[in-house]
Amino acid sequence: MRPFTFLAAFQAVMDGATLAAEARRAEAMGFTALVVPDHLIEQLSPIPALATIAAATERLRIAAFVHNNDLRHPAVLAQDLASLDVLSGGRLDVAIGAGWNRPEYDAIGLPFDPTPVRQARLEEAVAVLKGCFGDGPFSFAGEHYTIRDLDGQPKPVQRPCPPFLIGGGGRRTLALAGREAEIVGLAPRILSGQRPDPSSLTLAATAEKIGWVREAAGDRFDDLVFNIYPSGWPITVTADPRGEAARVVEHLRGRTAIDLTVDDVLDAPHVFVGTIDGLVEKFRMLRERLGISSFMVGDIDELAPVVERLAGT
C-alpha cells in the first residue's frame, strides 16, 4: 500500500510574511503539500500565492486545488506553472479541472458551456500543457485550442513534466485522469449541475468511479495515486459521530431518489465526521479497500492529529 500523504488548503487574504509562516508550519507538521483553490472570491490568486509558499519552504509541494481550465488559456497557464516548478526546484503538481461553479462564470460574462463541452476543452488543455512542457516546438489543432510551432518556455524542472492531478466526478473526466494523470482526484457530483447527486458521496459510488479509472488506465493503473477531499458537510471532530451523521442525512434528505443512512454517511469517503481515532481508522479503511492514500484535509489545524499519526505510514 502507498504511504499516506496529506494536503492542507489555504484560502484567505493575508500578507506574504503570514503566508510564509503558515507554509513553514504545514511543512513542519508533516503535510505533503499546501494547495490553493482557484476561485474568484476573497482569496489570493493561486499563482503568486504558490510562489510565496515555495519560497518559504524546502520540501512542501505546491498545487492549485484545482485550476479552473476555463479561466486561463492553457499555453499561458503552462508558462506560469513551469515557472513555479523552476522557482520551487521541482515541487509543483499540475492540478486542473473542467470548472463547475456557474456563478463565477456569470459574474464575468464567461459562457458556462454544457458539461461535455467543458470536459472536451479540458482534454485539449491537458494536451496543450504537456506540449508546452515538452522538448522543442509543437503544434496542436483542436476544436477549442490551436497552437502553431510554439516552444513553451521555461521548461519545468520535473521531466518530462510535473505530475498531473486531474479531478472530477463524471466518467469522462475520470477516464481522462486514468489516461493522463498521475494523481486522480475523486469528486462527488453534489456541488453543481442540473442533477446534484448526494449518493455519489458513498463508498459504493467511489468504488464505481475507481472502476472507470481502472478501465481507462489499463497497465498504468497500479502507478496512480487516488486523492479524496471532504464535500457536502464540514469536517467535524466529535464524540458523537452517529448524531452528527444523522444531521448530515437530514440535510441531504430528498435530494436523490434514495436517502442515505447514518452508516452510509459514516463510511462515505467524502464525509470527514468522527473522533480522531475514528477518522484514523476510516482513512486506513479507505486505503485498504479502495487504494485511496492522498487526503486533502482542509485547514492546517483541522485534522492535525490525524496527519501526525498517519503521514508517511
CA-based nearest residue to 143, from 163, 159, 119: 119
Average pLDDT over residues 169-193: 87
Distance CA 127, CA 133 (A): 10
Q: Write the burial class of residue 51 (CB in 10 Å: 0-12 exposed, 13-18 middle, 19+ buried).
A: middle
pLDDT number for residue 196 = 56
Reported pTM:
0.94
Distance CA 11, CA 71 (A): 18
**202 grid coordinates:** 458513498
The 10s digit of each residue's pLDDT in 63-93 is: 999 999 999 999 999 999 999 999 999 999 9
The 10s digit of each residue's pLDDT in 276-286 is: 999 999 999 99
**219 grid coordinates:** 497497465
Distance from the Cα of residue 193 to its chain's centroid: 19
CA-based nearest residue to 307, from 90, 8, 2: 8
Class of 5-230+291-310 per CATH? Answer: alpha beta
